[in-house]
């Protein structure tokens, strides 16, 4: 049941990012929807289950995107490890904390991408559309990122998904 939920969510997010949103003009500037999901599994699942999941998601995103191979694999790995490190010191049940993590993660992903363009790419030059792309993604993640993560947690709670991860069970989030 639990693994079916995770795989279903992953497929849903991948499909809407690649087969639906690109055809809706206002949605083309959407941030990476898998960021809240990686944060969700890093909080709520044991590392032996969630880390391979995050790595496989990164591999799939690298395959579907034209980004340098390994970018999403690397980013999701460090996002996962970063969140697990932070939750040792901060209360996970704090909704404000979760919101900030999602927003910061989306910004860091874009900054890393720009750093790759500027320092590692074949043409060391900032993209001409860097500012509009980052602005659109930032506005989307501000508006929808925290809501999406909290919805994932609420949905998991409604489906009575059993947790044995690093964080308190979902009813702690209210």
Partner 1 sequence: MFSKKMFLIVGVIILITVNVILLSFSSKSQSTFGLGRVGLSLVSPFQELVTRSIRFARDIWEHYFSLVSVAHENENLKKSLNQFVAKSNQWHEIDLANARLRNLLNFQKAPTNKVVAAEVIGKDPSGWFKTIIIDKGKSDGLKKGLSVVLPAGIVGQVIETTSHYSKVMLVIDRNSAVDALVQRSRARGIIKGESADQCRFEFVLRKHDVQIGDTVIASGLDGVYPKGLRIGRVADISQRNADIFYEIAVAPFVDYEKLEEVLVIIPPQTPEVSR
DSSP string, 49-114: HHHHHHHHHHHHHHHHSSSPTTHHHHHHHHHHHHHHHHTTTS-TT-HHHHHHHHHHHHHHHHHHHH
173 touches partner 1 by CB under 8 A: no
129 touches partner 1 by CB under 8 A: yes
Number of residues that bind partner 1 (CB under 8 A): 41
Residue 46 or 121: the one with the smaller Cβ distance to partner 1 is: 121
* Residue for token pair 């699942």: 45
Residue 89 or 96: the one with the smaller Cβ distance to partner 1 is: 89
**From 113, 152, 156, 167, residue interacting with partner 1 (rule: CB under 8 A):** 113
The answer to whether the CB of 4 falls within 8 A of the CB of 46 is no
93 touches partner 1 by CB under 8 A: no
71 touches partner 1 by CB under 8 A: yes
């Amino acid at each position: 049941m639990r693994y079916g939920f995770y795989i279903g969510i992953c497929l849903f997010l991948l499909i809407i990012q690649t087969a639906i949103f690109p055809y809706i003009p206002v949605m083309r500037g959407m941030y990476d929807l898998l960021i809240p999901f990686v944060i969700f599994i890093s909080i709520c699942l044991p590392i032996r289950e969630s880390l391979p999941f995050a790595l496989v998601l990164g591999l799939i995103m690298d395959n579907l995107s034209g980004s340098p191979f390994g970018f999403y694999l690397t980013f999701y790995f460090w996002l996962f490890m970063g969140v697990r490190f932070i939750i040792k010191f901060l209360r996970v049940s704090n909704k404000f904390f979760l919101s900030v993590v999602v927003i910061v993660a989306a910004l860091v992903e874009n900054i890393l991408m720009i750093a790759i363009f500027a320092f590692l790419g074949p043409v060391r030059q900032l993209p001409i559309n860097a500012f509009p792309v980052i602005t659109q993604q930032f506005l989307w993640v501000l508006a929808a990122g925290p809501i999406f993560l909290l919805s994932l947690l609420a949905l998991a709670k409604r489906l009575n998904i059993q947790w044995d991860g690093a964080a308190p069970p979902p009813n702690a989030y209210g």
